């Protein structure tokens, strides 16, 4: 019997199906969709651009420099290093499944992947470039000149660079997590403790914000609903203002896009400030500042076991 859960009979009464089912489960969380069909020439061009250091003004950084696909699509540092060798002011979110978010960036200032790319290349702390220079650089490269000509009627333009990158990013879905397999009807794929962890995740209210197909990424929320996280942490920064930087609305102070929990077990450190070094730390912060509750050690352990089932695959390999 599980050291954390009730008896098998109680588990059955809770509605846990312990045998494989042929039917998808009717749950508030949904499995990842299939990657949309995209123009293969634009996808390949976008892949090359994703790894192209000449997008930065001094040829030092590519998108892949901070978004490590084989490690969850994020950076394992609290703050990535910009083109000038200085750390950024905010944690790098994962690019995997980013196309499923309703906004981009922690403060949601970009509504599309294309808009996010537009800002990132011109950022004075990220790539430090400008689009006129990017277009000129790529146009004078024979390989890019040809590839753009084949993929777009008007060849190398800023809009086409952004579209190629966004087209590639829309293919970056981390499919086949064990939780997705569970939602699709393979109920044996999760252990009983992992199923209890999912139930606790729902019971405590985590699912109120981490919801939908991306298990987050579809709403804004104040960081510190039940207590003042920033006062407790100290050393306020501009990035802590969150969505207020976009709207200048006082109600948006310390408000951020709720991050996706997909692949959360492999994308430490956590939060916009990279302050939580481990998944255990992050869960503690969420309980205290978002839920205002103290879980039992058993419930916390069960929830973390559930969160580890959200890790998918990239390139046919588990992350």
Known catalytic residues are 126
The answer, yes or no, to whether the previous bond of 7 is cis (omega within 30 of 0) is: no
Which of 167, 164, 174, 188 shows the shortest CA–CA distance to 25? 188
DSSP string covering 9-58: HHHHHTT---S--SS----SB-PPPPPPP--HHHHHHHHHHHT-GGGSTT
Q: Count of alpha carbons within 13 Å of 23, Cβ hemisphere only? A: 4
85-89 long-range contacts, CB within 8 A, separation 24+: 86/125, 88/125, 88/126, 89/125, 89/237, 89/238, 89/239
Query: In whole angstroms, what is the distance from residue 109 CA to residue 148 CA?
Result: 28
81-89 long-range contacts, CB within 8 A, separation 24+: 82/123, 82/125, 82/126, 82/127, 82/128, 83/56, 83/57, 83/58, 83/126, 83/127, 83/128, 83/129, 84/125, 84/128, 86/125, 88/125, 88/126, 89/125, 89/237, 89/238, 89/239
- Helix or strand or coil: residue 164? helix
Check residue 102 and report its DSSP letter.
Answer: S
Residues 102, 103, 106, CA angle at the centre, nearest 5°? 130
């Amino acid at each position: 019997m599980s050291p954390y859960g009730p008896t098998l009979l109680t588990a059955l009464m809770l509605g846990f199906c312990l045998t494989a089912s042929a039917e998808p489960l009717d749950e508030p969380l949904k499995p990842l969709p299939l990657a949309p069909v995209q123009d293969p020439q634009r996808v390949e061009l976008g892949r090359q651009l994703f790894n192209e250091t000449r997008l930065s003004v001094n040829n030092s950084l590519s998108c892949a420099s901070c978004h490590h696909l084989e490690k969850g699509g994020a950076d394992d540092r609290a703050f990535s290093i910009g083109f000038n060798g200085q750390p950024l002011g905010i944690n790098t979110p994962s690019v995997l499944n980013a196309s499923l978010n309703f906004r981009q960036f922690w403060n949601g200032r970009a509504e599309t992947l294309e808009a996010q790319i537009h800002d990132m290349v011109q950022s004075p702390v990220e790539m430090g470039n400008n689009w006129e220079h990017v277009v000129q650089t790529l146009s004078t490269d024979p390989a890019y000149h040809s590839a753009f000509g084949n993929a777009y009627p008007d060849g190398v333009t800023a809009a086409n660079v952004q579209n190629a990158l966004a087209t590639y990013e829309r293919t970056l879905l981390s499919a086949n997590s064990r939780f997705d397999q569970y939602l699709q009807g393979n109920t044996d794929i999760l252990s009983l403790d992992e199923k209890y962890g999912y139930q606790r995740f729902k019971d405590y209210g985590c699912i109120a914000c981490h919801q939908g197909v991306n298990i987050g990424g579809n709403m804004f929320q104040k960081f510190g609903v039940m207590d003042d996280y920033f006062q407790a942490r100290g050393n306020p920064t501009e990035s802590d203002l969150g969505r207020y930087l976009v709207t200048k609305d006082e109600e948006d102070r310390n408000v951020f896009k709720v991050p996706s929990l997909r692949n959360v077990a492999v994308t430490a450190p956590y939060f916009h400030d990279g302050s939580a070094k481990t998944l255990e730390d992050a869960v503690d912060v969420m309980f205290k500042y978002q839920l205002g509750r103290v879980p039992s050690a058993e419930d916390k352990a069960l929830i973390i076991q559930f969160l580890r089932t959200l890790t998918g695959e990239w390139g046919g390999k588990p992350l």
